[in-house]
């Protein structure tokens, strides 16, 4: 596992330690992390503060995004995939898509390269959370 996915996992664990949903994300440009975030829907009482959105907010305005890579512990949902497409991010690396398929086809149909690392650590974080708090998870994914 590379250091960028490790940083995204650290963000997911930070969110979990705050009582939130364990999904983390980092934005990388020129080999450096320029933004970090984690799902804060519960902490901030904000339905759109998904990990990728928090990450983009924390990166701030950078002008062009076509030379960035977004790492996320979970395949991005349609909300976050929409942000990826809107800002022209060309590559997304996800820790897993087994517990939630996300919007991979949507991103790929808009020219975004998506890579699913299928990491056991990411899957276990989500499986444990979903088993313990299924109602919160279903709210997060709009069920």
| 18 is a catalytic site residue | no
DSSP state letter for 93: E
Distance CA 98, CA 67 (A): 27
Active-site residue, from 52, 96, 98, 105:
52
Distance CA 49, CA 86 (A): 17
* Lookup: tokens for 71: 């790492």
Cα-flanking dihedrals φ and ψ of residue 36, to 5°? -135, 150
Distance CA 127, CA 115 (A): 20
The residues that are catalytic are: 52
């Amino acid at each position: 596992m590379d250091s960028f996915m490790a940083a995204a996992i650290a963000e997911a664990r930070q969110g979990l330690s705050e009582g939130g949903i364990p999904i983390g994300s980092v934005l990388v440009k020129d080999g450096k992390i320029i933004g970090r975030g984690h799902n804060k829907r519960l902490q901030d009482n904000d339905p759109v503060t998904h990990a990728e959105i928090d990450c983009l907010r924390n990166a701030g305005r950078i002008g062009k995004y076509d030379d960035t890579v977004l790492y996320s512990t979970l395949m991005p949902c349609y909300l976050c995939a929409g942000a990826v497409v809107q800002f022209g991010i060309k590559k997304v690396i996800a820790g897993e898509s087994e517990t939630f398929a996300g919007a991979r086809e949507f991103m790929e149909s808009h020219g975004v390269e998506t890579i699913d690392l299928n990491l056991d650590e990411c899957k276990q974080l989500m499986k444990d959370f979903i088993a313990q708090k299924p109602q919160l998870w279903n709210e997060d994914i709009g069920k």
